A = this chain, B = another copy of it.
């Protein structure tokens, strides 16, 4: 009690002070919250500055279509229907050109079609007399809503025409039912369709003209980046895994950059969405219309498969390997080589994809990795009799790493084939150095005597032919 009263003396806790403190803490809390939000604003804008530009573009388009309201002459010709232009801009304007175009075209086509059918349904129903009209209209609305809602479940429709289906249902209902109340239904449909088309055009034009964001380009970069992430891991893994226990502690800093590959595991959805958008886009930059976007999904799938193997490998990155020195050294050299060469191959593939050049030395790296795998196999076969008493338990982690790495080599080879297919489908450029290789290779094919030469390039191409 004494202590309590003493405290009371020191910090007088009357109502006013309590309130002041509470207000102060609230003030601080709110301030911290605002600072937090501002920081998040900054990170999101910094992560992708195109987001800021996108926001400005939306604002610009909306201001443009709202001009219809401000100028008397424009407003006179469309009247209340002007709001459809605004609605279209808000709903259709998306981040990438592809999705804006897709939504715009969907909206435009669906409105035209459904508008025409709606007018037809209205005339058909009104011909049956005042009693039957609402019943027939109700039936039409019910049936088309049921049918189209079901069609939206079709995977092909869902991927590309989902929004169009929605707008079809909407427009058909509005036009056919409105006809029951509004007399000049054709005039109404005409005004609405024109404003919607205008709104959609504004979106498409602004989205293409002002700093366009191409979904296709994003997909291209994403796939290349994913390859690079795996490449980074494999190169890093080769360096990390066989370090002695003293080195392990200090190298933990670099490990954080290695787990970037984890994001690759869940990239399927993003890739598919981007590919769907990209199909709507016209030719842009290095990409022609009908660029083989499907091939990107195939490569993406192979990359994910490889990432899955890498995830299994990652479990060993923190474990210390205790195998006998001799075995350790033997497996170390070849495993490191496999991992690093695979990493180099992926990085090279990623680089050449980014620049849309034919990959030059990727096949070479893959062959090196395969040769290391073969070497490991033969080493294991030949040296086995020299080991008197090996502890299989200690060898197993090493053996697993080697085995997973062998799987990864196959994955990387498949990715390389996928990129080569893409290169031929999309006519990747032949750089000066890749031309040289092709020329050398041609000579080699003619004169087979030179195959025993030390020339590395020759061996690769020869290998590829065998595959």
Contacts and interface: CB of A to CB of B under 8 A. Distances in A.
Given A51-B150, A87-B174, A312 B404 contact: yes
Interface string A365-407: 0000000000001001100110001111101110110111001
A223 interface: no
- Among A153, A308, A381, A391, max chain B CB count under 10 A is at A153
A397 B403 contact: yes
A395 B399 contact: yes
A145 interface: yes
Give the number of times this chain occurs in the complex, counting copies. Answer: 2
A180 B68 CA distance: 11
Given A66-B138, A145-B58, A174-B87, A396 B393 contact: no
Contacts of A385: 389
Contact of A141 (B45, B62, B404): B62
Interface stretch (A165-173, A204-212, A226-234): A165-173
Contact of A44 (B75, B146, B154, B392): B154
Interface in A50-69: 51-52, 54-56, 58-60, 62-63, 66, 69
A134 interface: yes
A407 B266 CA distance: 21
A165 to B, nearest CB: 10
A91 interface: yes
Given A59-B143, A69-B180, A399-B403, 6 more contacts: A60-B142, A62-B173, A63-B142, A268-B269, A381-B391, A390-B392
